[in-house]
Structure 1
Amino acid sequence: MHENSLFVKFKNLLGEIGFLSDPVDCRPYCRGARYGQGDSLAVLRPDCHEHVVEIVRLCREHHQALVLQGANTGLVAASTPDGSGRFLVLSLERLKKYIAIDVVNRSVEVDAGLCLHELNQALEEHGLFFPIDLAANPSVGGMIAANTGGAKLIKYGDVRQNLLGLRAVLMEPAGQILDLRHALRKNNTGLDLKHLFVGSSGSFGVITRAVLQVHYLPRQTAVALVVPRDQSAVLELLQVLERDCGEYLSAYEGISGAALDAVLRHVPAITQPFHPEPCPEYCVLIELSSRADTSTGLDLNVLLSTCLEKMFGTVVENAVIGRAKDLWRIRHAISEAVRHEGRVIAFDISMSRSNLVDFRAQALQLIAAHYPWIRVMDFGHWADGGCHFNLVWPSDASEEFSDHIVQQIRDQIYDLVVLRHQGSFSAEHGIGPYNQMYYQRYTSQMQKHLSGQIQGLLDPENLLGLCRFGE
């Protein structure tokens, strides 16, 4: 193999802690958070930008394929090698030494391996935060590669909207550096090339540094868990909140009764918020937030309560206001709780908000008519059109689990999303091998043609990652 040439160079470059070749040591890097399991030739763990440059240069010289990996929290198998055994894993988990906070500019420059929680810990002492709200703890580079959104997108935007600049190492020319570390919010001096790397699933280059826009921590928040009259009322409620609460609306998260019930059964520390009333068929988690404190005359709890009271008996049937920490715990516990119910068939989809009610009704009808043993435990970001339409094949189902049936369900749901409702089959998680087939199925020929040309320009030998954006 490469043991006597390339591997020796890597060992000399990275040392024992930076070069892993024992299969036992490599195994954790070959398994995804939920999907993806393969084999790697070795794992490379550089701790500086210069080592990344040399790794990329050597891999191109030896025609060696790489899979890029940050915190490995992705859900589409883009950060893990396949079963071919031909990939090296380039893990950036040790590339996290540099962090420079510019409070005046409200920006931060960080190494790509720094994780979200670490970033926010450093920002907190300055009263700042990076507003990507997730249950996971991804790396900065991984968030850029997937263009992560999260629960606060409606107020703060996704990673793309908060990315000011980056530095990347290119495969073509081999090991060359594209340095776009401008902490500028306005720059019209040509193409904004940093966006090539956003949502690329690590296939266009190795991001080693990023400049991010950060935001002031809110001084007050108001949270409510609301039971709408019916599904159409979910969007009626959203419209009223956007009209009456405006820029204070920071989250609007739909939660199905089945998802809430799973949380209550599998997370004992969480109590039924509507007790003694039964669990509703559907509820919505609402958050308002502001930098202004109550001394300014703004009281978000009063604002939210007043807004909801006007809709009681028409749009709103029930509500729990306050207990922000407890209510957010429910939302963040859903993914883990649902996994205890059986095999999860996950969908990360989006569409125009106007289509969400019809889509959900049609999808529920489809599952009930053809797969009655499947349970729907959906939740999601209704304010930005996102929905995690997760299904569960229960452990005690009358039907034995079948990959063929799961594939059939996926095809039907995605056809419903993309073809009937002009939506996206991957709202937040990116492409990756897990979604490659659907990318080929639903993406236009011209989009694939142009994307493939760009990928071919930046990686002519297809050495970076497993995603292919061409035809």
Structure 2
Amino acid sequence: MAAMSKQLSEQFSEQLGEHLAALAALLDERGMLLDAEECRPYVTGARYGNGQALAVLRPTDANQIAGIVAYCAKARLPLVLQGANTGLVAASTPDASGNLLVLSLERLRKTIEVDAVNRSVLVDAGVTLQELNDALEPHGLFFPIDLGANPSIGGMIAANTGGARLIKYGDVRHNLLGLQAVLLDPPGQMLDLLQALRKNNTGPDLKQLFVGTSGAYGVITAAVLQAHRLPQQTATALVVPRDQAAVLQLLQALEQDFPEFLAAFEGISGACLDAVARHIPDIGNPFAPEPVPEYCVLIELSSAGSPQAMGVSLEDALTACLEKLFGDVIVNAVVGRGKELWRLRHAVSEAVRQEGKVIAFDISMPRSALVAFRGEALGLVDSRHPWLKVMDFGHWGDGGAHFNMVWPADAPLAYDAVIVGTLRHAIYDLVVVKYHGSFSAEHGIGPYNQAYYHRYISASAQQLSGKLQNLLDPQRLLGVTWFGEEGER
């Protein structure tokens, strides 16, 4: 028996060597990584996910990707897709089996073709958000998905990223005009949907099959994106509401007075603000000498029209609006200092990490439910786990919230994964069951939250999603996310 096992192992090793040699032949000399140290950045996730890979494949064009996919389908070699590896649910990193190939699109970044008249841009999937905006800026344009990370465009499509300015510009899905993808069936076939059209009612919108599906339905190789005019004026304020109910009163007032101009409405708890002031150099309490408030809201108005053309200054208009609301809805405000206030907002995640082990929640719900949810969730945490520090912030303007909490290092109990798991169930039950929200507002689905997908998504939706995944990837070789029913994979 031992001799036979050794023979089978040697046979597998020989076949694997042949497979890797065949794949290497499809790439240039920098196209395949095998060394464990070189592979380390590709197998370690930004927050979750730490596995092993058979090899890392780094193609430079769509034809190489088509060849890789065709070969892997024939040889039944599984692939996990990866862009800039900034995802937060482990959907772009291999598992611990060591049986997956990482298909990295980081070198697929030659093309950025701007059509300024059409306000569109054709990009390779490996182009990063910063590279895209650097290319758009000379044309007076930008891609308005505002994130703390610098992801690739392909990864942004796969996760359907949103960001802080979704309330004005929408998420990636709303700004995607066209797409190109390599299919698993027929293996290596190119699906070209790269039309730069805003109106195209000629059948199903097939490009949307690849949006928000974590790379499980095909390999995105290029996209046509809608660009927007760069703002010619902005107005920023950090506002202290009278109480939690006043946050939504403030939102309604701003949308009534500035329906086309409200670009961001970001809630920040006092705990987060205090952490930033204590841990991030050169950022203090913007309300000093007054103490940090219990809660505040970062507001941004923006317009592509100049004050001269529009006949109005947004900052003056915002100041007048806040003055009108003072006392009844708000009790304090800092107006202006936009770069400083946005730096504060983007520093929240880093500051919170300094407080202890973060227990992160990326949730959304109807905006009308946010106040009631927050009150109930704070009470739940305080009654069950009083040593936890709730440090929440997020995109209240679009119904999103990062209801994060920290398990401090000096807590009376050491970090306990069982307690955290029970807490997650309780919070998600509130979000999804009681307040009809989502347990994954922006981050998508991956191994980190796969179990909650099966727990909360309806059986009929899972069945249909699984049928689509089986149709597009009948051998289930692509990715580490399964959208069908639990136990079927």
TM range (shorter): over 0.9
Question: 1:112: how far off?
Answer: 0.2
With 154-163 and 264-273 compared, the bigger mean Cα shift is at 264-273
Q: Distance in 2 between matches of 1:182 and 1:166?
A: 8
Partner of 1:332: 346
Q: Distance in 2 between matches of 1:156 and 1:298?
A: 22
Q: Distance in 2 between matches of 1:465 and 1:178?
A: 19
Aligned positions of 1:240-259 closer than 5 A: 240-259=253-272
Q: Which residue, 116, 120, 124 being the options, matches 1:111? A: 124
Structure 1: gaps spanning 5 or more residues: none
Q: Which residue, 79, 83, 95 being the options, matches 2:108? A: 95
Partner SS for 1:4 = helix
Q: Which residue, 302, 306, 321 being the options, matches 1:289? A: 302
Question: 1:15: how far off?
Answer: 2.9
Asked if 1:446 is matched to 2:446, the reply is no
Partner of 1:467: 481
CA contact (8 A) 1:145 1:202 kept: yes
Question: 1:5: how far off?
Answer: 1.4
Partner SS for 1:212 = strand
Q: Distance in 2 between matches of 1:341 and 1:272?
A: 17
Q: Distance in 2 between matches of 1:14 and 1:269?
A: 47
CA-to-aligned-CA distance 1:6-25 (integer Å, 9 cap, x gap): 10012222133110011111
Partner of 1:19: 32
Question: 1:201: how far off?
Answer: 0.2
Partner SS for 1:260 = helix
Q: Which residue, 393, 396, 400 being the options, matches 2:410? A: 396
Structure 1 runs of 4+ with >4 Å offset: none
Q: Distance in 1 between matches of 2:424 and 2:288?
A: 36
Partner SS for 2:265 = strand
CA contact (8 A) 2:276 2:284 kept: no
Question: 1:4: how far off?
Answer: 2.8
Partner of 2:163: 150
CA contact (8 A) 1:103 1:126 kept: yes
Partner SS for 2:260 = helix
Partner of 1:78: 91
RMSD, aligned α-carbons: 0.7
Question: 1:271: how far off?
Answer: 1.8
Partner of 1:191: 204
Give the counterpart letter for 2:407 in structure 1.
Answer: W
Q: Distance in 2 between matches of 1:294 and 1:105?
A: 25
Q: Distance in 2 between matches of 1:395 and 1:358?
A: 30
Q: Which residue, 120, 124, 134 being the options, matches 1:121? A: 134
Give the counterpart letter for 1:344 in structure 2.
Answer: V
CA contact (8 A) 1:292 1:298 kept: no
Q: Distance in 1 between matches of 2:278 and 2:107?
A: 38
Give the counterpart letter for 1:434 in structure 2.
Answer: Y
CA-to-aligned-CA distance 1:348-384 (integer Å, 9 cap, x gap): 0000000000000000000000000000000000010
CA-to-aligned-CA distance 1:409-432 (integer Å, 9 cap, x gap): 111100010000010000000000
Give TM-score, length-normalised by structure 2.
0.96
Partner SS for 2:438 = coil
Partner of 1:416: 430
Give the counterpart letter for 2:113 in structure 1.
Answer: A
Q: Distance in 1 between matches of 2:182 and 2:166?
A: 29
Give the counterpart letter for 2:270 in structure 1.
Answer: G
Question: 1:3: how far off?
Answer: 3.6
CA contact (8 A) 1:367 1:374 kept: yes
Question: 1:294: how far off?
Answer: 1.6
Aligned positions of 1:201-212 closer than 5 A: 201-212=214-225
CA-to-aligned-CA distance 1:78-136 (integer Å, 9 cap, x gap): 00001111100000000000111000000000000000001000000111000000010
CA contact (8 A) 1:273 1:320 kept: yes
Partner SS for 2:441 = coil
Partner of 1:223: 236
Q: Distance in 1 between matches of 2:78 and 2:238?
A: 48
Asked if 1:366 is matched to 2:385, the reply is no
Question: 1:292: how far off?
Answer: 1.5
CA contact (8 A) 2:262 2:302 kept: yes
Q: Which residue, 447, 460, 466 being the options, matches 1:433? A: 447
Q: Distance in 2 between matches of 1:266 and 1:173?
A: 53
CA contact (8 A) 1:68 1:91 kept: yes
Partner SS for 1:253 = strand
Partner of 1:130: 143
Q: Which residue, 415, 421, 426 being the options, matches 1:407? A: 421
Q: Which residue, 61, 64, 74 being the options, matches 1:61? A: 74
Q: Distance in 1 between matches of 2:100 and 2:176?
A: 29
Partner of 1:167: 180
How many residue pairs align between the two structures? 471
CA-to-aligned-CA distance 1:165-221 (integer Å, 9 cap, x gap): 000000111000110001000011000000000000000000000000000000000
Question: 1:61: how far off?
Answer: 0.6
Q: Distance in 2 between matches of 1:335 and 1:289?
A: 25
CA contact (8 A) 1:263 1:334 kept: yes
Asked if 1:300 is matched to 2:328, the reply is no
CA contact (8 A) 2:181 2:191 kept: yes
Q: Which residue, 320, 332, 350 being the options, matches 1:318? A: 332
Q: Which residue, 237, 254, 257 being the options, matches 2:250? A: 237
Of all paired residues, the percent bearing the same amino acid is 65
Asked if 1:277 is matched to 2:259, the reply is no
Q: Distance in 2 between matches of 1:374 and 1:277?
A: 26
Q: Distance in 2 between matches of 1:419 and 1:382?
A: 20
Partner SS for 2:27 = helix
Structure 2: gaps spanning 5 or more residues: 1-12
